Amino acid sequence: MNLLDELATVLEARKHESPESSYVASLYQGGTNRILQKIGEESAELIIAGKDHSATIELQNNPARDEVVKETADLWFHCMVLLAHQGLSHNDVLAELSTRFGISGHDEKASRST
């Protein structure tokens, strides 16, 4: 079992927890709009981290680089909450990505508009 599988298992279990004792359960209780609000917040924080530190990001052991990694982790986590809330899984996303592997991004994007 990999980390994403383990996280998915925990997120599923949190559906049965009390919102007073579980952050994830409180997100579920708030519904899709609350979860999407958190995704929006985390997206904005990642954008700010990436934009503010774009010139120095490639340096190892750099606080700016660490901030981008942490904000990305926050965004991925909240996206996983949304997936679980809607009865989906990271495996659904990975399956979709696998269909796109080896296809030009331009070609893939063009195929969606037809």
pLDDT tens digits for range 22-73: 999 999 999 999 999 999 999 999 999 888 665 555 556 667 788 889 999 9
pLDDT tens digits for range 89-106: 999 999 999 998 887 778
Right CATH for 3-112 from 3.40.50.970, 1.10.287.1080, 1.10.287.610, 2.60.40.420: 1.10.287.1080
Host H or E run for residue 105: helix 105-112
The confidence score (pLDDT) of residue 1 equals: 72
Domain boundaries, the chain: 3-112
| 81 contacts 27 by C-beta, under 8 angstroms | yes
**Cα separations (Å) of 18 from 14, 15, 50, 71, 74?**
8, 8, 35, 26, 22
Token pair 């990436």 is at which residue? 50
User: What pTM was estimated for this model as a whole?
Assistant: 0.84
Q: Could you count the other beta carbons within 10 Å of the beta carbon of residue 106? A: 8
Residue 75 pLDDT greater than 80, yes or no: yes
Q: Which residue has the higher pLDDT, 103 or 2?
A: 2
